[in-house]
Amino acid sequence: MPPLPLIVEPDELEAHLSDPDLLIVDLCKPDLYPRAHVPGAIHLDYRRLVERRGHAGGLLPDAAALSEILSGLGITPQRHVCAYDDEGGGRASRLLWTLDVVGHEKFSLLNGGLLAWYNEGHPVESQPHAAEPASYPVAAIRRGLADCQYVLSHFADPHVRILDARSRNEYLGLTRFSARNGHIPGAVNLEWTFAMDPAQHLRLKPFPLLRQILEASGITPDKEVIVHCQTHHRSAHTYIMLKALGYPQIRGYAGSWSEWGNREDTPIETDESP
């Protein structure tokens, strides 16, 4: 099949539905998949993509677990994976970020997800599809991942920017989901929904506008950008958006604030910080 872009429009995806090398993965709410999904799509429960260890949620499963998950979906290195969900792309982007981390080269995000697909008259079906298991060995984590130690070592680096994709109240420390509230010192706050256009079924906003917003906030392509939220769910969407814009150095902090805010050795700023 001809290569699909990282951000694929519904019309283009529909034209490729019969391609045998295309695998469509649905990450909508479990009760939605039996009612309506893109034809041929296989459902994946988002919870399989993340692990909790102690207070830290959103962690990446180990290589053996990832191999089992990806093999069970029928993914092979040759297949092109297109993911979508019903929330604007957060859960779908977490799958795509995971594929990027393990070195998979062929994947796309359906722009606008099921909302755009359904409301613009593209075909849906209710018949479930079972995956045909394949073999997808995951040998190592190759790129795109930041752990807590990496962030601790780099958050003050002038060549690195921390992009906090949580809500403004979470960033300011007014809303708490961990033992401590606030944000990583120096982090830039752009809530993940800033990239979505509600008038276009939650598609990404035009790329020139997104670049303007990012660069005005100091998120420039010459910097390494580390994205996070509470569990690297929302910020996975931010990661894929930055990748689509051509940012060459991006990492996702998987533990995110669920880890940083529950440790005692991590520096924090709040709205009350001097």
Sketch the domain layout of the chain as residue ranges.
7-119, 145-260
Structure tokens at 89: 């792309």
CB 11 within 8 A of CB 26: no
Phi, psi of 99 (to 5 degrees): -60, -40
Kindly tell me if the per-residue pLDDT of 2 is higher than 70: no
Residue 227's identity, in one-letter code, is V
Write down the pTM of the prediction: 0.96
Instruction: Dump pLDDT digits (tens) for 25-42.
Output: 999 999 999 999 999 999
Q: Quote the CA–CA distance of 270 and 274 in Å, as a whole number.
A: 9
CB 94 within 8 A of CB 107: no
* Residue given tokens 């991006």 in the structure block: 250
Class of domain 7-119: alpha beta
pLDDT level of residue 1 (50, 70, 90 thresholds): low
**Topology alike, domains 7-119 and 145-260:** yes
Known catalytic residues are 229
User: Does the domain at residues 145-260 carry the CATH identifier 3.40.250.10?
Assistant: yes
* Nearest residue to 66 via CA among 35, 101, 31: 101
Residue 198: CB partners within 8 Å, gap ≥ 6?
none
